[in-house]
Amino acid sequence: MAKEPAFVLTYGKSGIGKTTDAGFSFPQGLFIAAPGALKSVASTCGYMPAQVHASNIMEATEAIKQAANSGQYDAIVVDDFSFLAEQTMVALEQRHSGFKLFGALRQAILTFRAAARFAGIHVVLNCWEKGPRTYDSGDRVRGGPDLTGKLPEQLPAMCDLVLRAQYDGMRSPWKASYRVAPNADWIGKDRDNVCPDPAPINLGEILRAAGYVISRHPAVPWQEEAVAVLAKELVQSSTITQTAEEAYKALLAEHGPILAYWTVRDGLDRAEIAKLNAKRHATFF
Protein backbone atom coordinates (compact mmCIF):
# COMPACT_ATOMS: atom_id res chain seq x y z
CA MET A 1 0.00 0.00 0.00
CA ALA A 2 1.38 3.41 -0.97
CA LYS A 3 2.31 5.73 1.88
CA GLU A 4 0.52 9.00 2.44
CA PRO A 5 2.53 11.97 1.08
CA ALA A 6 5.15 13.52 3.32
CA PHE A 7 4.79 16.87 5.06
CA VAL A 8 8.33 18.17 5.68
CA LEU A 9 9.83 21.24 7.32
CA THR A 10 13.49 22.20 7.03
CA TYR A 11 15.09 25.19 8.71
CA GLY A 12 18.54 26.70 8.84
CA LYS A 13 20.67 29.72 8.04
CA SER A 14 20.25 31.41 4.67
CA GLY A 15 22.55 30.03 1.97
CA ILE A 16 23.21 26.67 3.61
CA GLY A 17 21.64 24.69 0.76
CA LYS A 18 17.96 24.08 1.60
CA THR A 19 16.61 25.46 -1.68
CA THR A 20 19.16 23.68 -3.85
CA ASP A 21 18.42 20.40 -2.08
CA ALA A 22 14.72 20.89 -2.77
CA GLY A 23 15.59 21.40 -6.44
CA PHE A 24 17.54 18.13 -6.58
CA SER A 25 14.87 16.31 -4.59
CA PHE A 26 11.65 17.47 -6.26
CA PRO A 27 12.20 18.16 -9.99
CA GLN A 28 8.51 17.53 -10.70
CA GLY A 29 7.32 19.79 -7.92
CA LEU A 30 5.75 23.25 -7.88
CA PHE A 31 7.82 25.87 -6.05
CA ILE A 32 6.07 28.75 -4.30
CA ALA A 33 8.88 31.28 -4.25
CA ALA A 34 9.74 34.93 -4.78
CA PRO A 35 11.20 36.05 -8.12
CA GLY A 36 14.90 35.19 -8.28
CA ALA A 37 14.77 32.83 -5.30
CA LEU A 38 15.38 29.74 -7.43
CA LYS A 39 18.55 30.85 -9.21
CA SER A 40 20.57 28.27 -7.28
CA VAL A 41 18.35 25.49 -8.61
CA ALA A 42 18.83 26.64 -12.19
CA SER A 43 22.61 26.97 -11.87
CA THR A 44 23.29 23.86 -9.77
CA CYS A 45 20.55 21.42 -10.79
CA GLY A 46 20.41 22.49 -14.43
CA TYR A 47 16.70 23.22 -14.78
CA MET A 48 14.18 25.85 -13.73
CA PRO A 49 11.34 24.44 -11.60
CA ALA A 50 7.69 25.23 -12.13
CA GLN A 51 7.11 28.33 -10.02
CA VAL A 52 4.35 30.57 -8.73
CA HIS A 53 4.61 33.61 -6.49
CA ALA A 54 2.56 34.18 -3.35
CA SER A 55 2.55 37.48 -1.49
CA ASN A 56 1.33 35.99 1.78
CA ILE A 57 0.33 32.73 3.45
CA MET A 58 -3.29 33.06 2.37
CA GLU A 59 -2.23 33.16 -1.29
CA ALA A 60 0.12 30.23 -0.71
CA THR A 61 -2.76 28.24 0.77
CA GLU A 62 -4.81 28.79 -2.38
CA ALA A 63 -1.81 27.88 -4.55
CA ILE A 64 -1.47 24.57 -2.69
CA LYS A 65 -5.15 23.77 -3.21
CA GLN A 66 -4.94 24.55 -6.93
CA ALA A 67 -1.74 22.57 -7.42
CA ALA A 68 -3.17 19.59 -5.54
CA ASN A 69 -6.29 19.62 -7.72
CA SER A 70 -4.39 20.03 -10.99
CA GLY A 71 -2.65 16.65 -10.90
CA GLN A 72 0.43 18.20 -12.57
CA TYR A 73 2.85 18.00 -9.64
CA ASP A 74 3.99 15.42 -7.12
CA ALA A 75 5.26 17.94 -4.58
CA ILE A 76 4.94 21.55 -3.46
CA VAL A 77 7.94 23.41 -2.06
CA VAL A 78 7.38 26.68 -0.19
CA ASP A 79 10.59 28.73 -0.24
CA ASP A 80 10.93 30.60 2.10
CA PHE A 81 8.06 30.16 4.57
CA SER A 82 9.58 32.49 7.18
CA PHE A 83 9.68 35.34 4.64
CA LEU A 84 6.10 34.52 3.65
CA ALA A 85 5.08 34.78 7.31
CA GLU A 86 6.71 38.22 7.53
CA GLN A 87 4.84 39.38 4.43
CA THR A 88 1.62 38.02 5.89
CA MET A 89 2.17 40.02 9.07
CA VAL A 90 2.55 43.19 6.99
CA ALA A 91 -0.71 42.43 5.15
CA LEU A 92 -2.63 41.65 8.35
CA GLU A 93 -1.40 44.83 10.06
CA GLN A 94 -3.71 46.77 7.76
CA ARG A 95 -6.72 45.19 9.50
CA HIS A 96 -5.53 44.05 12.94
CA SER A 97 -3.31 45.11 15.82
CA GLY A 98 -2.11 43.76 19.15
CA PHE A 99 -3.25 40.30 20.12
CA LYS A 100 -5.73 40.20 17.25
CA LEU A 101 -2.85 40.59 14.79
CA PHE A 102 -0.95 37.59 16.18
CA GLY A 103 -4.19 35.64 16.39
CA ALA A 104 -4.92 36.33 12.73
CA LEU A 105 -1.39 35.27 11.73
CA ARG A 106 -1.68 32.09 13.78
CA GLN A 107 -5.00 31.27 12.14
CA ALA A 108 -3.57 31.87 8.65
CA ILE A 109 -0.68 29.50 9.35
CA LEU A 110 -2.91 26.81 10.86
CA THR A 111 -5.25 27.02 7.85
CA PHE A 112 -2.21 26.69 5.59
CA ARG A 113 -0.99 23.74 7.65
CA ALA A 114 -4.30 21.92 7.22
CA ALA A 115 -4.28 22.51 3.44
CA ALA A 116 -0.72 21.19 3.23
CA ARG A 117 -1.44 18.14 5.36
CA PHE A 118 -4.37 17.08 3.22
CA ALA A 119 -3.06 18.16 -0.20
CA GLY A 120 -2.48 14.58 -1.33
CA ILE A 121 1.07 15.37 -2.55
CA HIS A 122 4.37 15.97 -0.78
CA VAL A 123 4.67 19.42 0.81
CA VAL A 124 8.01 20.87 1.89
CA LEU A 125 8.49 24.12 3.83
CA ASN A 126 11.88 25.83 3.97
CA CYS A 127 12.32 28.26 6.84
CA TRP A 128 14.93 30.53 8.33
CA GLU A 129 16.32 29.53 11.70
CA LYS A 130 15.53 31.13 15.07
CA GLY A 131 17.80 30.11 17.95
CA PRO A 132 16.79 28.99 21.44
CA ARG A 133 15.58 31.79 23.70
CA THR A 134 14.29 32.45 27.20
CA TYR A 135 11.36 34.79 27.84
CA ASP A 136 11.10 37.24 30.76
CA SER A 137 8.73 34.76 32.41
CA GLY A 138 11.56 32.23 32.51
CA ASP A 139 9.99 29.96 29.91
CA ARG A 140 12.60 28.53 27.54
CA VAL A 141 11.75 27.89 23.89
CA ARG A 142 13.75 25.58 21.68
CA GLY A 143 15.31 26.82 18.47
CA GLY A 144 13.41 26.06 15.29
CA PRO A 145 11.78 27.73 12.29
CA ASP A 146 11.77 31.52 12.43
CA LEU A 147 8.12 32.23 13.25
CA THR A 148 6.32 34.24 15.93
CA GLY A 149 5.01 33.14 19.31
CA LYS A 150 4.32 29.43 19.78
CA LEU A 151 4.26 28.71 16.03
CA PRO A 152 7.84 27.36 15.95
CA GLU A 153 6.50 24.43 18.00
CA GLN A 154 2.95 24.28 16.62
CA LEU A 155 3.79 24.13 12.91
CA PRO A 156 6.32 21.28 13.18
CA ALA A 157 3.85 19.33 15.35
CA MET A 158 1.87 18.26 12.27
CA CYS A 159 4.90 17.48 10.08
CA ASP A 160 6.30 14.02 9.37
CA LEU A 161 9.89 15.20 9.17
CA VAL A 162 11.54 18.28 10.72
CA LEU A 163 15.21 18.86 9.91
CA ARG A 164 17.70 21.52 10.91
CA ALA A 165 20.37 22.31 8.31
CA GLN A 166 23.70 23.24 9.86
CA TYR A 167 27.30 23.79 8.77
CA ASP A 168 29.36 20.59 8.82
CA GLY A 169 33.03 21.07 7.95
CA MET A 170 33.66 17.31 7.97
CA ARG A 171 31.30 16.66 5.06
CA SER A 172 32.37 16.86 1.42
CA PRO A 173 31.72 18.32 -1.08
CA TRP A 174 28.76 20.16 0.50
CA LYS A 175 29.74 21.49 3.93
CA ALA A 176 26.40 20.99 5.65
CA SER A 177 24.26 18.30 7.27
CA TYR A 178 20.68 17.78 8.37
CA ARG A 179 20.11 17.18 12.08
CA VAL A 180 16.92 15.42 13.14
CA ALA A 181 17.35 14.24 16.73
CA PRO A 182 15.33 16.51 19.04
CA ASN A 183 17.08 17.92 22.08
CA ALA A 184 16.73 20.63 24.71
CA ASP A 185 17.87 23.33 22.27
CA TRP A 186 16.53 22.44 18.81
CA ILE A 187 13.35 21.00 17.31
CA GLY A 188 13.67 17.82 15.26
CA LYS A 189 11.32 15.02 14.26
CA ASP A 190 11.13 11.87 12.13
CA ARG A 191 7.91 9.87 12.23
CA ASP A 192 9.35 7.25 9.86
CA ASN A 193 12.48 6.69 11.97
CA VAL A 194 14.84 6.34 9.00
CA CYS A 195 16.76 9.62 8.96
CA PRO A 196 20.21 9.28 10.56
CA ASP A 197 21.65 12.10 12.64
CA PRO A 198 23.57 13.74 11.11
CA ALA A 199 22.28 13.04 7.60
CA PRO A 200 23.35 14.28 4.18
CA ILE A 201 21.41 17.27 2.85
CA ASN A 202 19.33 15.15 0.50
CA LEU A 203 15.59 15.12 1.18
CA GLY A 204 14.90 12.96 -1.85
CA GLU A 205 17.07 10.11 -0.59
CA ILE A 206 15.91 10.47 3.01
CA LEU A 207 12.29 10.14 1.90
CA ARG A 208 13.04 7.29 -0.50
CA ALA A 209 14.67 5.43 2.39
CA ALA A 210 11.38 5.86 4.27
CA GLY A 211 9.42 4.29 1.41
CA TYR A 212 7.97 7.43 -0.18
CA VAL A 213 7.71 7.69 -3.97
CA ILE A 214 9.91 10.60 -5.08
CA SER A 215 9.94 11.26 -8.82
CA ARG A 216 13.00 11.84 -10.99
CA HIS A 217 13.22 14.57 -13.62
CA PRO A 218 11.31 13.34 -16.71
CA ALA A 219 14.30 14.17 -18.94
CA VAL A 220 16.54 11.64 -17.15
CA PRO A 221 14.62 8.33 -17.00
CA TRP A 222 17.90 6.42 -16.57
CA GLN A 223 18.93 8.20 -13.37
CA GLU A 224 17.12 6.10 -10.77
CA GLU A 225 18.63 2.86 -12.05
CA ALA A 226 22.09 4.45 -12.16
CA VAL A 227 21.74 5.68 -8.56
CA ALA A 228 20.57 2.26 -7.37
CA VAL A 229 23.51 0.48 -9.04
CA LEU A 230 26.05 2.99 -7.72
CA ALA A 231 24.64 2.95 -4.18
CA LYS A 232 24.86 -0.85 -4.07
CA GLU A 233 28.49 -0.69 -5.22
CA LEU A 234 29.31 1.96 -2.63
CA VAL A 235 27.77 0.00 0.24
CA GLN A 236 30.02 -2.92 -0.64
CA SER A 237 33.10 -0.89 -1.60
CA SER A 238 36.20 -0.51 0.57
CA THR A 239 37.39 2.39 -1.62
CA ILE A 240 34.37 4.68 -1.67
CA THR A 241 36.17 7.74 -3.04
CA GLN A 242 37.68 5.78 -5.92
CA THR A 243 34.36 4.10 -6.76
CA ALA A 244 32.55 7.45 -6.76
CA GLU A 245 35.25 9.11 -8.87
CA GLU A 246 35.11 6.35 -11.47
CA ALA A 247 31.33 6.61 -11.65
CA TYR A 248 31.53 10.39 -11.96
CA LYS A 249 34.03 10.24 -14.85
CA ALA A 250 31.88 7.72 -16.73
CA LEU A 251 28.71 9.80 -16.24
CA LEU A 252 30.55 13.02 -17.06
CA ALA A 253 31.63 11.73 -20.44
CA GLU A 254 28.09 10.71 -21.36
CA HIS A 255 25.80 13.19 -19.62
CA GLY A 256 27.84 16.27 -18.60
CA PRO A 257 28.81 17.70 -15.20
CA ILE A 258 25.41 18.54 -13.72
CA LEU A 259 23.79 15.14 -14.25
CA ALA A 260 27.02 13.38 -13.30
CA TYR A 261 27.20 15.29 -10.01
CA TRP A 262 23.47 14.84 -9.32
CA THR A 263 23.61 11.08 -9.89
CA VAL A 264 26.78 10.46 -7.88
CA ARG A 265 25.47 12.72 -5.11
CA ASP A 266 22.32 10.62 -4.77
CA GLY A 267 24.29 7.37 -4.97
CA LEU A 268 26.69 8.45 -2.24
CA ASP A 269 23.90 9.74 0.00
CA ARG A 270 21.73 6.65 -0.51
CA ALA A 271 24.66 4.42 0.43
CA GLU A 272 25.49 6.55 3.48
CA ILE A 273 21.90 6.52 4.75
CA ALA A 274 21.69 2.73 4.27
CA LYS A 275 24.98 2.09 6.10
CA LEU A 276 24.16 4.46 8.96
CA ASN A 277 20.75 2.87 9.46
CA ALA A 278 22.23 -0.62 9.38
CA LYS A 279 24.70 0.43 12.06
CA ARG A 280 22.02 2.19 14.09
CA HIS A 281 19.76 -0.86 14.15
CA ALA A 282 22.56 -3.36 14.80
CA THR A 283 22.59 -2.68 18.53
CA PHE A 284 20.05 -1.59 21.11
CA PHE A 285 22.24 1.10 22.72
Pick the range with the lowest mean pLDDT from 149-158, 175-184, 217-226, 276-285: 276-285
Long-range pairs, 261-266, Cβ under 8 A, ≥24: 262/24, 262/45, 262/46, 262/223, 263/223, 263/226, 263/227, 263/230, 264/230, 265/24, 265/202, 266/24, 266/202, 266/204, 266/205, 266/223, 266/227, 266/231
pLDDT of residue 1: 55
Instruction: Please give the average per-residue pLDDT across 67-85, as a whole number.
Output: 92
Predicted confidence band at 3 (pLDDT cuts at 50, 70, 90)?
Answer: confident
* pLDDT (average), residues 146-158: 84
- Given this model, what pLDDT does residue 284 score? 67
Using pLDDT thresholds of 50, 70 and 90, give the confidence band for residue 285.
Answer: low
Q: What is the pLDDT of residues 240-264, one digit of tens each?
A: 999 999 999 999 999 999 999 999 9
Mean pLDDT of 47-59: 95
Q: Which of 99-103, 156-160, 167-171, 225-229 shows the highest mean pLDDT?
A: 225-229
Closest CA to 173 of 260, 235, 276: 260
Mean residue pLDDT of the chain comes to 92
Q: Say yes or no to pLDDT of 13 above 60.
A: yes
Which pLDDT value is given to residue 171? 85
Q: Which of 44, 41, 10 is nearest to 177 (CA)?
A: 10
Residue 213 pLDDT level (bands cut at 50, 70, 90): very high
Q: Which of the two residues, 113 and 194, has the higher pLDDT score?
A: 194
Task: Say if CB 51 and CB 93 are below 8 A apart.
Answer: no
* pLDDT band per the 50, 70, 90 thresholds, residue 278: confident
Residue range 62-80: mean pLDDT, rounded: 93
250: buried, middle or exposed (CB in 10 Å: 19+, 13-18, 0-12)? middle
Cα–Cα distance between 144 and 129 in angstroms, integer? 6
- pLDDT bracket for residue 89 (50, 70, 90): confident
3-class SS of residue 181: coil
Please name the helix (run of DSSP H) or strand (run of DSSP E) that holds residue 9, with its range, or none.
Answer: strand 7-12
Closest CA to 167 of 271, 17, 10, 267: 17
Q: Are 175 and 157 in contact (CB under 8 A)?
A: no
Asked if residue 200 has a cis previous peptide bond (ω within 30° of 0), the answer is: no
Q: Work out the pLDDT band at 31, boundaries 50, 70, 90.
A: very high
| For range 177-201, the mean pLDDT | 94
Compute, in degrees rounded to 10, the torsion defined by CA atoms 8, 108, 84, 11.
-30
User: What pLDDT score was predicted for residue 124?
Assistant: 97
pTM of the model: 0.93
Q: What is the pLDDT of residue 173?
A: 77
Report whether 58 contacts 50 (CB < 8 A).
Answer: no
Which residues make beta-bridge pairs with 177?
166, 200
Q: Give the pLDDT of residue 2.
A: 64
Instruction: Identify the pLDDT of residue 202.
Output: 97
Q: What is the pLDDT of residue 100?
A: 86
For residues 144 and 147, what is the distance between their CA atoms, to the nearest angstrom? 8
Query: Which pLDDT belongs to residue 74?
Result: 93
